[in-house]
Amino acid sequence: MKNYFVIGSRTSKSLSPAIFNYWFKKYNISAKYSFLEVDKKNFDQVLLKSINKKNIAGFNVTVPFKKDILKHLNTTNIHAKKIGAVNCVKIDKKNRGTNTDWAGYLKSIKGLKINKTKKILILGCGGAAQAIFYGFLSRGYKNVYVFNRSKKTININGFKTFTKKYSSIDRYLKKADLIINTTPTNPLNKHQTKNVGEQAVVSDIVYIPKQTNFLKNFKKNRKIYGISMLIEQAVLSFRFWFGFSPIVDDVLIKKLNLKIK
C-alpha cells in the first residue's frame, strides 16, 4: 500500500484526508492518505524521515511551508518555478514538485466569467496568494492588486510588483469586482468592509468554517467558499500522482459539507 499525506502547521483539521481517501476507495487504489502536523523547528527533520520511507509516493504541502519545501526537491514544473512555491510533490526516482493552487483557484471561480479588465483584490501575500496572483497574471488579467500588512516584493516570471498597504485600499474597494481573502482572519476593518460594493464577489480560501469571519460581513454579495479551491486543487494533485482526474460527485460534496458547517 502506498502512503500519501499533507504536511503543515495545522493539518490535523485538514479535509484533504477525507477527499483523497474517498477517491482511493472509489477507484480501488491501494493507498492511504494522512496528515503530518509540524512547526518550523522540526519541518525538515520530520519531512526527510517521512519521504525516505519506501511506501511514500507523494504528499501535499500547506502553510507555511510551500517555499521551504523547494530545497528538498529535485525538479519543479514551470508553474511552480514561476510562482516560487510548491504544494504538491510526487516521489518516484526523484522528488518532483508542482503547484496546483493557481489553477485550482481559477477552476473554483470558472462560473463567474470575470472580464479581464475587471478589478481583482487579493488580501494577503503568502504562498497561496502569490499562486492566485500568478494565475490571473498568466490568464491576462490587467487589474489585479495584492494588499498586505507589510510591504513585500512579488516577482513572478520576470514581472515585479509590490504589495499595497491596507490603508490605501478604500479607493479600490468600491469598484472591486472580486475580493479574495487569503489570510486566516478578516484583514478589513468595519469602515473598509462598508466600502465594498454589492456588485463585488467575495471569496475566502479558508474552508473551515464555511462562513468565515471575512465572509460573514457580506450578506448581499455573491460568495465563493474556500472548499471549492480545496477540491479543485486536490483534483489536480490526484491527476499529478495518478494520471487521471477523479470525479467530484455528490456523495463527496455531501460528506465535506457535513464537516465545514
Q: What residues are labeled active site?
A: 66
Report how far apart the first and last C-alpha atoms of the chain are (Å, whole number): 33
Residue 210: DSSP 8-state: S
Bridge partner list, 155 = 160
Query: Which residue, among 83, 78, 122, has the nearest Cα to 96 in the 3D structure?
Result: 78
C-alpha cell at 36: 503530518
63 with 16: CB under 8 angstroms? no
CA torsion sign, 178 to 117 to 128 to 17? Answer: positive
Helices vs. strands in the chain: H and E counts, helices first: 9, 13
Which 3 state secondary structure label does DSSP give 33?
A: strand
d(C-alpha 208, C-alpha 90), whole Å: 27
Half-sphere exposure of 35 (CA within 13 A, CB side): 15
Count other C-beta atoms under 10 Å from residue 61's C-beta.
27
Count other C-beta atoms under 10 Å from residue 104's C-beta.
26
